[in-house]
């Protein structure tokens, strides 16, 4: 699931870097910025990907290496990044998936159930419908998440090629 095949959405302007924002969060809780937290933050924000904790752990240095981070620290720090507003998390097929939140626009997802790829998109039409429905119900929106499940173009092509009647 790592990554997204669609073109990444443009970042939004923010006043603090992710590291500065996290340092501010830690200070308000009386916690210190450790080298492991810095390393994880830099690793996660060095590229834009959707990931779960296991995928992140697989990309980290192994035990005994420089910058090694224990699994427990990874899980704890991911929760801190979510609490600090740096990452969003959501359940997908029984796993907790993470994505950038800080400095990234509101968006929705298409999820291919074959290749397990998440594709990001923005839609003014969907936002207008959301706002209209909320207004009709007297509802104040604080956010939303939409994940549309289906099969992507590439997997559809591959699936069609394998059908018996197509091989004749």
**Residue ranges at the known binding site for Zn(2+):** 112, 115, 152, 155
| Cα 124 versus chain centre, distance | 21
Query: DSSP for 88-120?
Result: EEEEETTEEEEEE-TT----EEEEETTT--EEE
Whole-angstrom Cα distance, residue 99 to residue 9?
12
Q: Residues annotated as binding site for Fe cation?
A: 108, 144
**Helices 35-45 and 71-83 sit at what angle, rounded to 10 degrees?**
70
Q: Residues annotated as binding site?
A: 108, 112, 115, 144, 152, 155
Token couple for 9: 């959405």
Whole-angstrom Cα distance, residue 57 to residue 146?
27
Enumerate the β-bridge partners of residue 51: 98
């Amino acid at each position: 699931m790592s990554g997204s095949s669609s073109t990444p959405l443009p970042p939004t302007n923010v006043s603090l870097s992710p590291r500065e924002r996290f340092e501010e969060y830690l200070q308000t809780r009386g916690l210190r910025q450790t080298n492991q937290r810095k390393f994880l933050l830099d690793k996660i924000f060095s590229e834009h990907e959707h990931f779960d904790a296991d995928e992140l752990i697989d990309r980290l240095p192994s035990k005994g290496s420089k910058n090694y981070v224990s699994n427990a620290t990874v899980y704890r720090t991911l929760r801190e990044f979510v609490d600090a507003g740096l990452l969003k998390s959501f359940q997908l097929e029984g796993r907790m998936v993470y994505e950038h939140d800080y400095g990234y626009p509101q968006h929705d997802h298409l999820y291919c159930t074959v290749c397990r790829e998440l594709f990001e998109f923005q839609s003014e039409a969907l936002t207008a419908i959301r706002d209209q429905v909320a207004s009709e119900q007297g509802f104040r929106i604080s956010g939303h998440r939409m994940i549309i499940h289906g099969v992507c173009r590439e997997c559809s092509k591959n699936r069609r090629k394998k059908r018996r009647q197509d091989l004749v």
